[in-house]
Amino acid sequence: MALALEGSQALARTVALCRPQVVAAYPITPQTHIVEGIAKLVADGKLACEMVSVESEHSAASVALGAAVAGSRAYTASASQGILLMAEVLYDIAGLRIPLVMTCANRALSGPLNIWNDQQDSMSMRDSGWIQLYCATNQEAVDTTVQAFRIAERCELPVMVCVDGFTLTHTLEPLELPTAEQVDGFLPTYSFRHGLDPSDPRSLGTLVGPEHFTEVRHAHHQALMQAQAEIEQADADWAAVVGRHCGGLLEVRGDPDARLGILTLGSVLGTLEDAMDADPELPRARFIKLRSYRPFPAEALRKACEGLDHLIVLERALSPGSGGIVGPEVLTALVEMAEPPRVHNYAAGLGGRDLALDLYAKLTQAVLGAERPREFAIIDADLEMLPESDR
């Protein structure tokens, strides 16, 4: 039966069902509700887990790292500036191939100071070597969280579950939570073959010189590329348990015959789908929900783009001075197609700007009939607010 739950409370209960043995976190809006919920379950004696309150996000990530290496299933959550403060340790966790899971409750980065939703925080960790899975709904966030532990532990890679802050985390809606039996049957007891064991002493994280570092990096890259199969398998296997898919690496939705595609990450998808269905006068679109951003599923993406004339890549972050972040990667992946679509790259919804139903018309009107891609643009920017020199 569906329960009326706020996204973050549902995530707290889902993480608890995964039986983490150590959770370390420093509270930061909007993930606070998640770790608060877990802390309450621990305090109420409903979850056997060590909840470590730390003095910074750097320490939160460090505690999670240490706990996972010492043989505990570990979890943390953060967002925004917290992710930046964790950055050093996040690279360590990935480079040392440590399986743990964190939720990123996606949020803008300062400055100027802004507490609201966009995806600049997780995008800033794109190259850290973590698996990144983006969730379009709270139900996907619940199901992806369970899958993430299995993917992490099988691939020996950390997984960041990216959930739009506020837009998902603070929305109450009907959600199906799995049962303890379902999760227990899906997730084996935690084990990490490179963990530290006093009876078989060894070191982790020691100096690696030029004679080996390159190969370590190569192996890390290969592990991420190969994780694609595990991400798809975890989704298929979990769907066999609960009857719900999250879309594997990516999911094609909307009108399969449309010549116009729109690629999205995260929770904007439903608004665009509603906008298209509400107005039959508007052009039809095939939606590509990119769930796995790292590893980047180039082959699956090419297949999803077959038959498209135009592809809009819509992002909630940007690389100032260049343009989009995901857009250029999509373009690179599609170069190998015999007839690739024209790729148009836009950002929108930065720092919590509301993405309204009219976004769909705005996007489709911007590209249809275009002979070649227009320049990257923040499509919902109101240039009238700016002096002439900044437009």
- Cβ(28)–Cβ(58) below 8 Å: no
User: Residue 125 in contact with residue 95, Cβ under 8 Å?
Assistant: no
Q: Return the structure tokens found at 102.
A: 């964190």
Residue 92 Cβ, how far from other proteins at the closest point, in Å? 33
Residue 27 CA to residue 249 CA, distance in Å, equals 30
Q: How far is the CB of 172 from other proteins (least distance, A)?
A: 5
Work out which of 51, 70, 87, 115 binds other proteins, going by CB under 8 A: 115
> Of the two residues 228 and 271, which places its CB atom closer to other proteins in the complex?
271
CB of 115 or CB of 187, closer to other proteins: 115
Helices (H), 44-176: 57-69, 80-95, 120-123, 138-155
Least distance to other proteins from the beta carbon of 341, Å? Answer: 25
Sign of the four-CA dihedral 14, 17, 18, 21:
positive
Cβ at position 168, least distance to other proteins in Å = 8
Interacting residue with other proteins among 167, 264, 319, 364 (CB under 8 A): 167
Strands 131-134 and 292-294: antiparallel
**267 near other proteins, judged by CB under 8 A:** yes
- Min dist. Cβ of residue 135 to other proteins (A): 12
Q: How many CA atoms lie within 13 A of 50 on its CB side?
A: 12
If binding is defined by CB under 8 A, does position 275 make contact with other proteins? yes
CB of 167 to other proteins, least distance (A): 5
Check residue 355 for interaction with other proteins (CB under 8 A).
Answer: yes
- Say whether residue 41 binds other proteins (CB under 8 A): no
Single-letter code of the amino acid located at 387? P
Alpha carbon distance 270, 123 (integer Å): 21
Question: Of 21 and 171, which CB lies nearer to other proteins in the complex structure?
Answer: 171
Residue type, 17: L
**Contact call for residue 253 and other proteins (CB under 8 A):** no
Site residues (CB under 8 A) for other proteins? 2-4, 6, 115-116, 166-168, 170-174, 267-271, 273-275, 352, 354-357
